[in-house]
Amino acid sequence: MTSPSKSNRPKWSLETHFWGAVAIAAIASACVLLISKKNIWVELEIIVGVLSLISFVYFLFPFYYGIRFEKKETYSIAWKPFSFNESWVDTLGTIDTGGLFAEAGAEAGPLGCLLGFLLDLVVSLILIVVIAFLLWFGFNIVTTGIIVFLLPLYFLFRRSLRVAIAKGRTCRRNLGKSLKFAFLVTITNMV
């Protein structure tokens, strides 16, 4: 026998649901973009339609089953420190200009060969700096883009689930109310 103070509604993990929703959105978007051969605006409308349908079905379950989430679940991002270790540095390889300037300078004698070697060295260093800057810049752009894209989704998802939990008690095992609230939450999120 269960105590009256304890709820028999199922408990789900909010973090698992968030990453599940991100994965579903990514898979649905990738499928539409790869399969559909229409212009980008039509594809985006199809993506919103597919995501709306998935969102409706997704919210129908929490409303109908009256789920709840762990109250003490924390939301934190653990950043791992970056360090150069020998094995990682060894896999980078080297930048080789092929000795282009040294070969050209060898025809001019020992002084030309030395000047060509120095030019090879300078060109290699410039290439290393340019490649390192492009990798650093690209990594920062990708990281910033992911954060800018996922942060609003996270807060929207979190707010939507709070609504689902609040209405979950009144909608539990009531299909009509569950359909109504799932439709309203879907319209609110997708518009």
Domain borders along the chain are 14-71+130-190
Distance of CA 64 to the CA centre of its chain: 29
Query: pLDDT higher for 175 or 21?
Result: 175
pLDDT at 97: 63
Q: What is the pLDDT of residue 6?
A: 57
Q: How confident is the model at residue 46 (pLDDT cuts 50, 70, 90)?
A: confident
Measuring CA to CA, how many Å separate 34 from each of 64, 94, 123, 142?
34, 37, 41, 21
Give the global pTM. Answer: 0.52
Yes or no: say if 59 and 164 are a contact pair by the CB < 8 Å rule. yes
Structure tokens at 161: 């689930």
Residues 59-95: pLDDT tens digits? Answer: 888 788 877 766 665 555 566 665 656 555 555 556 6
